[in-house]
Structure 1
Amino acid sequence: MSINTLKTPLEMLYHWEQTRPEAIYLRQPIDGVFYEYSWYDVGQKVRRLASALIAQNFDQGSHIAILSKNCAEWFIADLAIMMAGHVSVPIYATAGQETIQYVLNHSNCRAVFIGKLDDTQNQCDAIPEQVKRLGFPYPNVERAELKLDFQWSELQAQPPHPGNPVPDLQDTMTIIYTSGSTGNPKGVVNTYESYAFASQQFVDTMAFTHKERALSYLPLAHITERTVVEGSSFYCGCEISFVESLDTFVDNLKAVSPTLFLSVPRLWTRFQMGVLAKMPPKKLNLLLSIPILNKVVAKKIRQQLGLDSARVFGSGSAPLSPATIRWYERIGVNITEAWGMSETNALGTNCHPFRSDKIGSIGRPYPGVELRIAEDGEIQVRGDFLMKEYYLEPEKTAEVFTDDGFLRTGDKGEVDGDGYVKITGRLKEIFKTAKGKYVAPVPIESRLMENPLIEQICVTGSNLKQPVALVVLTPEAQQHDQQHIRTSLIKTLKKTNSKLESHAVLDGLLIVQEAWTPDNGLLTPTLKIRRHLLEGRYQEAIQQELSDKVVWL
């Protein structure tokens, strides 16, 4: 793919407006009904909103935030910010006051779009007075006392922007703030060129066409949803539907029947547990072992999940247990793991097309991704998809780039003879035990997650004789007594320890009662664990002498 042929998202909007104006682009469910917007409809809404932004007389290149769950207006606002010549700054819809205030102040945002939120009033109390408030057309926004400067109806009352402005590929398109697993989030500055390069690669590699259907529900403030779903839709012209609420997720999924479905390990595990709750594993294994019947059973399960039309299944943000991937493989759901970062516009490696013999790896580099393993084992990448810098943090920018232009990813890895990459840990997460030996927690956690009773896990052990694991059980585990759970966990622990070097062998499992969520701060908005906070919260328990291999805290 030549940089000279790259088109900005705005140019793609103009293309679809002209070539497929009546084709449905966005589908937004409201009160159980999907409202559909064609490319022409979306273009008109974008143009009216762009006119409204231009009327505010912000300096060119001003930063404008979007604080909302996924919805049609999110896409429309994103494109309108581009058309008006400004820079978008997405904020996680689950963000607390401290994060919202930090991002708005650090990026010096002039305005913020406020949309679907669960804690609207409290979250919006964090918005500084000088930041203009622009509302999306949802009850939580219209009914709250938010002191909006403009309602959506007022913004859409403007005449449509008459031109077709095209940004320079080198211009800044967006600032993506990382989820902040350690300290304050960093503002990743991505240009039109890097975003377009990554989005186009997803379309080309996966052979996406305008016939695809995708469900946009993972946070648009995260780079994966922003490029793989929203970005791909710009470049292949496909149909995007949204979720009305958490309660309607399953119904919306079934109604959409997507051809492309991305998720995170936690949700893939939940889906699996939901199936096993209706059909015991022994019975399911028997049915899946019978020729012809196995295909009928597998298809019925896919239909129940709403995935019977999907041809691309993806998982990211954290490792998915190989045992879980193999379970899904038996029902015809071939999950391909992928790897990328905000700093790479989510472009990195991918296991597509699915290969059963490569389960456990993160795949091969996309075309245009130059990847190497440094002397310390770090995965480093280079290419036209990389971020420009960390906003206002030149020292951190200098630290993350090598002298020859490679990005230091912080992930340790290895490459096999076929070019498939496997992550062996995070450089910053590797800890030293009291024996002076280093332990990488991620591969151990991946092995332990093969137990279906485990929902969340954190292996830790800095300055301990041997590491231990903090464990949150699945809701389904409550159906079993402690003895059953203990027996199951000890079996998994023994199997895991048998494959570890002596210094990495786990002393035991500590069962915690409180689930880790973004709300209590123990998970990032992208559902990554905040290790330092978990270690701080459970420090006393971690340091104790264990009386058993499984201990309930």
Structure 2
Amino acid sequence: MLQEYKSLVENFYHWEINTPENIYLSQPLGDDYKHYSFAETGNQARRMATALKAMNLPEKSHIGIVSKNCAHWIISDLAIAMAGHISVPFYPTLIDEQINQVLVHSECKVLFVGKLDSWATMKAGIPESVKCIAYPSFYDGCPSTEMDEWDSIIDAHEPLQENIQPKYEDICTIIYTSGTTGVPKGVMLTYGAIIEAITYTKDEVALDLPNARFFSYLPLCHIAERNIVEAASMATGGTVFFADTLESFQKNLQTAMPTHFLAVPRIWTKFQLGILAKMPQSRLDMLLKIPVIKAVIKGKIQKGLGLSNAKIILTGAAPMPPSLLDWYKKLGITIREAYGMSENVGAHSMMPADAIKSGTVGKPYPKVVTRIDPETGEIQMKAPWNTIGYYKEPILTESLLKDGWLCTGDMGEIDSEGYLKITGRVKDMFKSAKGEYIVPAPIENMLLVNPVIEQVCVVGTGLSQPIALIVPSEIGKNMPRENLMESLEETLKRVNPNFKNYEALRKAVVVKDLWTVENNMLTPTMKIKRNVVENYYKNQVELWEELEEKVVFE
């Protein structure tokens, strides 16, 4: 166990020296696994660091990573730090125009290119001035024949012998936001910020747990995965397992049997649907009432999900319906909500394990001071790990950081027990034709309690009353249309009385297409791009508003 947390790379040095033969990274390749010990991980990272230093790049150059999660993502991130440079990771789903924008803005000199679904839609956006290095060819979709390849580079260089010790105030990484409302912004995080965040959240995320195991599948370029997998694994000396493909996800998770596991609400919903497809709710309810069988059923489901050993089970990035949290709790799976963003190293609050309060995102971590702006309802916070600002965006940085307070852009409330509740986004508010401001998130959260709904976006700019655009879940899609309509009508009757008259939904519209990253309706972190969704349905919304039916099908 580490006595004192330092930078990620220095934490890694500790395990490289003290547990060199322990497996650090476990990479599935089809039915086989390729294991990398701490010694081998260090050897490869040090050789690549030597290669980077041999390029004679300017001090603290920006070096990009674009790849799905894999062992070499973490190895290359270590190599960048060992060489004294700054890592700038990008989402592997970007297309040519998007990757070009962030590469040019970040001024990357080198780009590690790895496991990708479609390099063809991306490569035209890579500036000629950026040197590309491909991960080993055994990764699916890796363009190793089009550029210098990892193995040939490390074979040509000796391991770097010196151990860099970064300065507290130096920039460690620049993380580009997912661009929910526009162009992504580069969040600058210092080594000191990451050290502070690890130090003061260690108890909540169980960094003293022996034999820790992690499962990496959410984008590593996102702060949540960077924390709960990369940073936590280097702090604990645990093992990181990866998902190979979407098809092998469940099998890989069962192999990993993680002690720490994070999933966004949409994944928890898919897990639920998978369980109910094998065992209908009525039968599950019946079996859970039988004392002798109850424990067996819970154990079987937990093992089937791969969560038998999980000690820290988290959700975040989007609101989790309380009904879904309760559903899992009955199965012996306690899911704790966490709240944060890139700008505060993903660390604002977490649900206490022994005092869960539904409808909130828990209590702020130690060293976090939180306040609510009395005019806008915005959540603002101070912590020693806040960002120093947005790269090359001084005006945006000014509006983000005011007198030491980080302005989150989220709206919220703090109750008498210190629990934080998220009530919406300041920028998501819209004005109806009656001149009243409407905050859509609370309405959407109440709608999502109905399991026939998978995605929802409440719109209404310029309308007399708001309308809910709904993508049905698999449960909803498999229902007769009449039953789905009846279920949604009942939901409207239940939801509307909870809001003011001008906030009440006029109707629900069931749309045909799922909102995805590929059709640009979702960010890479599965958040709805509200402006894109509104614009897509803009011409139809006014027509739907005139119809008398409470539930309309596109």
Structure 1-normalised TM-score? 0.96
Distance 2:503 2:346 in 1: 31
Question: Could you tell which deviates more after superposition, 489-498 or 64-73?
Answer: 489-498
Distance 1:80 1:414 in 2: 42
Q: Which AA in structure 2 matches 1:230? A: E
The equivalent residue for 2:324 is 324
Distance 1:246 1:485 in 2: 29
Q: Which AA in structure 2 matches 1:69? A: K
Cα displacement (A) at 1:435? 1.8
Q: Does 1:460 align with 2:467?
A: no
Cα displacement (A) at 1:351? 0.3
Deviations 1:335-362 (A, max 9, x none): 1111101100101000031534x01100
The equivalent residue for 2:504 is 505
Cα displacement (A) at 1:283? 1.5
Cα displacement (A) at 1:384? 1.2
Q: Which AA in structure 1 matches 2:531? A: H
Specify whether residues 143 and 199 from structure 1 end up closer, same or farther in structure 2 by C-alpha distance, changes over 3 A only.
closer
Distance 2:120 2:181 in 1: 27
Alignment of 1:114-513 (within 5 A): 114-139=113-138, 144=143, 147-208=146-207, 209-356=209-356, 358-376=357-375, 377-403=377-403, 405-513=404-512
- Indicate if the aligned counterparts of 1:121 and 1:144 stay in contact, CA closer than 8 A: no
Distance 1:206 1:153 in 2: 39
Cα displacement (A) at 1:451? 1.2
Q: How many residues align?
A: 548
Q: Which AA in structure 1 matches 2:241? A: S
Question: Could you tell which deviates more after superposition, 340-349 or 231-240?
Answer: 231-240
Deviations 1:310-351 (A, max 9, x none): 121111110010111110110011111111011001010000
The unaligned stretches of length 5 or more in structure 1 are: none
The equivalent residue for 1:47 is 46
The equivalent residue for 2:548 is 547
Q: Which AA in structure 2 matches 1:533? A: V
| Counterpart secondary structure, 1:35 | strand
| Counterpart secondary structure, 1:184 | coil
| Counterpart secondary structure, 2:314 | strand
Deviations 1:503-528 (A, max 9, x none): 11111111111111111111000000
The equivalent residue for 2:71 is 72
Cα displacement (A) at 1:542? 1.7
The equivalent residue for 1:537 is 536
| Counterpart secondary structure, 1:57 | coil
| Counterpart secondary structure, 1:204 | coil
Cα displacement (A) at 1:200? 3.4
- Indicate if the aligned counterparts of 1:410 and 1:426 stay in contact, CA closer than 8 A: yes
Distance 2:165 2:64 in 1: 21
- Indicate if the aligned counterparts of 1:350 and 1:363 stay in contact, CA closer than 8 A: yes
Specify whether residues 462 and 326 from structure 1 end up closer, same or farther in structure 2 by C-alpha distance, changes over 3 A only.
same
The equivalent residue for 1:108 is 107
Question: Could you tell which deviates more after superposition, 149-158 or 40-49?
Answer: 149-158
Distance 1:138 1:492 in 2: 51
Distance 1:385 1:151 in 2: 34
- Indicate if the aligned counterparts of 2:113 and 2:142 stay in contact, CA closer than 8 A: no
Distance 1:13 1:6 in 2: 10
Percent of residue pairs bearing the same amino acid type: 43
Specify whether residues 428 and 142 from structure 1 end up closer, same or farther in structure 2 by C-alpha distance, changes over 3 A only.
closer
What CA RMSD, in Å, does the superposition of the two structures yield over aligned residues? 1.6
- Indicate if the aligned counterparts of 2:389 and 2:400 stay in contact, CA closer than 8 A: no
Cα displacement (A) at 1:303? 1.4
Distance 2:417 2:137 in 1: 50
- Indicate if the aligned counterparts of 1:175 and 1:190 stay in contact, CA closer than 8 A: yes
Specify whether residues 500 and 146 from structure 1 end up closer, same or farther in structure 2 by C-alpha distance, changes over 3 A only.
farther
Cα displacement (A) at 1:191? 0.5
The equivalent residue for 1:526 is 525
| Counterpart secondary structure, 2:215 | strand
The unaligned stretches of length 5 or more in structure 2 are: none
- Indicate if the aligned counterparts of 1:472 and 1:513 stay in contact, CA closer than 8 A: yes
Specify whether residues 484 and 156 from structure 1 end up closer, same or farther in structure 2 by C-alpha distance, changes over 3 A only.
farther
- Indicate if the aligned counterparts of 1:66 and 1:88 stay in contact, CA closer than 8 A: yes
Q: Which AA in structure 2 matches 1:276? A: L
Q: Does 1:61 align with 2:65?
A: no
Distance 2:241 2:152 in 1: 22
Cα displacement (A) at 1:88? 0.5
Distance 1:156 1:371 in 2: 51
Deviations 1:15-60 (A, max 9, x none): 1112111111110111221211111111111111101111111111
Specify whether residues 210 and 145 from structure 1 end up closer, same or farther in structure 2 by C-alpha distance, changes over 3 A only.
closer
Distance 1:433 1:95 in 2: 34
Deviations 1:461-500 (A, max 9, x none): 1121111111111234332210111111112221111222
Q: Which AA in structure 2 matches 1:546? A: L
- Indicate if the aligned counterparts of 1:202 and 1:228 stay in contact, CA closer than 8 A: no
Distance 1:315 1:160 in 2: 39
- Indicate if the aligned counterparts of 1:120 and 1:141 stay in contact, CA closer than 8 A: no
Cα displacement (A) at 1:140? 6.0
Question: Could you tell which deviates more after superposition, 4-13 or 383-392?
Answer: 4-13
Specify whether residues 82 and 305 from structure 1 end up closer, same or farther in structure 2 by C-alpha distance, changes over 3 A only.
same
The equivalent residue for 1:26 is 25
Specify whether residues 160 and 401 from structure 1 end up closer, same or farther in structure 2 by C-alpha distance, changes over 3 A only.
same
- Indicate if the aligned counterparts of 1:45 and 1:156 stay in contact, CA closer than 8 A: no
Specify whether residues 439 and 328 from structure 1 end up closer, same or farther in structure 2 by C-alpha distance, changes over 3 A only.
same
Q: Which AA in structure 1 matches 2:319? A: P
- Indicate if the aligned counterparts of 2:177 and 2:342 stay in contact, CA closer than 8 A: yes
Cα displacement (A) at 1:186? 0.4
Specify whether residues 367 and 408 from structure 1 end up closer, same or farther in structure 2 by C-alpha distance, changes over 3 A only.
same
- Indicate if the aligned counterparts of 1:170 and 1:193 stay in contact, CA closer than 8 A: yes
- Indicate if the aligned counterparts of 2:117 and 2:141 stay in contact, CA closer than 8 A: no
- Indicate if the aligned counterparts of 1:444 and 1:459 stay in contact, CA closer than 8 A: yes
Cα displacement (A) at 1:195? 1.6
Distance 1:70 1:309 in 2: 22
| Counterpart secondary structure, 1:258 | coil
| Counterpart secondary structure, 2:455 | strand
- Indicate if the aligned counterparts of 2:228 and 2:260 stay in contact, CA closer than 8 A: no
Cα displacement (A) at 1:183? 1.3
Specify whether residues 140 and 259 from structure 1 end up closer, same or farther in structure 2 by C-alpha distance, changes over 3 A only.
closer
Cα displacement (A) at 1:292? 3.3
Distance 2:141 2:427 in 1: 44
Distance 2:319 2:166 in 1: 37
Q: Which AA in structure 2 matches 1:119? A: S
